[in-house]
Amino acid sequence: ECGKSFRCRSALVNHHRIHTDERPFGCQDCGRRFNRRSNLTTHRRIHTGDMPYKCPDCGKSYRVSSTLLRHRKTH
């Protein structure tokens, strides 16, 4: 084990999945599996076309908030 400690059990469980390669969350469309539900949620946007992060300056939309943040630096 890596020796990391966590304040809450859920963070420990999520971290443990890195070491075990456990991926309990599967995409119903393509079968790809993820170790965190949030990663599955982001991935599902590929299939649904959902792009919830919209630039207030130009209106361009993105699937992931970090992509919007990177884009906003171009304005």
Tokens representing 39 are: 């990663």
Handedness of CA 35, 38, 39, 41 (dihedral sign): positive
What is the distance between the alpha carbons of residues 54 and 60, in angstroms, rounded to a whole number? Answer: 6
Tens-binned pLDDT, residue by residue, of the chain (75 aa): 799 999 999 999 999 999 999 999 999 999 999 999 999 999 999 999 999 999 999 999 999 999 999 999 999
Domains contained in the chain, CATH given: 20-72 (3.30.160.60)
Contact in structure between 50 and 63 (CB atoms under 8 Å): yes
**What's the pTM value of the predicted model, to 2 decimals?**
0.78
